[in-house]
Structure 1
């Protein structure tokens, strides 16, 4: 397994994984499969950046198969540039339980230490996703808020916990 930035020429592979995530775990993401499935590939390509403060990590098997991902972007505004956001963490079911999500998150935290002026990395997690919440807490994220009924999926309400990792 190796972790590296997803490149624009890997957009189709990335988008296939992203749509799988949205379709198989709709309660875990703010975006929906139905809203994203018809996104043109040129738009997907434009979402893939390789900046130190805006990137998508991929977890690849030794054979080069993309089996996990996690996005990171720094807030652009002058007053909020000290914060970054993790989004879209997902590992295919056949590769779960192998520490891949932990490796992706550890790499984001490592890179965050190198971004000048970055003081915290934030994320949100659906409280029903206890495995993800436990992973984030185990890495040092702390909760700072709860949004009740943040998402509605198939008539069911889901709460989201907001978490932050404080650098330095």
Structure 2
């Protein structure tokens, strides 16, 4: 049984170790780099941590409290952009993949977003070579709206990114 909940300050050390693992083992999947991130102090990591309804990091925890997966959500704060949010940093430790953990994390973000007043869409990006992740996002209702050529360069290799959006259906649209 996996528990999905917010990463708390008490979880920061475990979260940061999993984040660094993600950046090191899957560098093409993240815009942040291991080399830059490893230089951050614990205090800097804690300062970046928010636990609000519209800015949070979720963790997937085993029954014994071991953190095995994570994702972040950030809602735009500017007036003209508040209708959008972004999912970032989706990662599940390799030995736990294929068990629906990423789907559970993403479903929780989508459910939380559904009750945020005025939030109409959630965006994310996925490196084009990660077909399994893109298919997972599609299965949850995300649609592709664009591609960026050479969005990332890792070890002199260029990676394209696919941009996807999840759009909340309004009640009046369903009834009409």
- TM-score (norm: length of structure 2): 0.94
Q: What is the Cα-based RMSD across aligned positions, in Å?
A: 0.6
Other-structure match for 1:83: 84
SS in 2 for 1:80: coil
Moved over 3 A (4+): none
Counterpart Cα distance in 1 of 2:12 and 2:46? 6
**CA deviation map 1:66-115 (0-9, x unaligned):** 00000001011110000000000000001000000000000000001010
SS in 2 for 1:85: strand
Q: For the pair shown, which has the larger CA radius of gyration, 1 or 2? A: 2
Give the CA deviation at 1:44.
0.6
Give the CA deviation at 1:155.
1.1
Other-structure match for 1:47: 48
Other-structure match for 2:166: 165
Other-structure match for 1:155: 156
SS in 2 for 1:149: strand
Other-structure match for 1:27: 28
User: 1:88-107 counterparts in 2 under 5 A?
Assistant: 88-107=89-108
Which segments of 5 or more consecutive residues in structure 1 lack a partner in the other structure? none
Counterpart Cα distance in 2 of 1:98 and 1:44? 29
SS in 2 for 1:51: coil
Contact preservation (8 Å) 1:90, 1:101: yes
**CA deviation map 1:99-136 (0-9, x unaligned):** 00000000000001010000000000001001100000
- TM-score (norm: length of structure 1): 0.99
Contact preservation (8 Å) 1:26, 1:153: yes
Other-structure match for 1:61: 62
Counterpart Cα distance in 2 of 1:49 and 1:62? 24
Which segments of 5 or more consecutive residues in structure 2 lack a partner in the other structure? 170-176
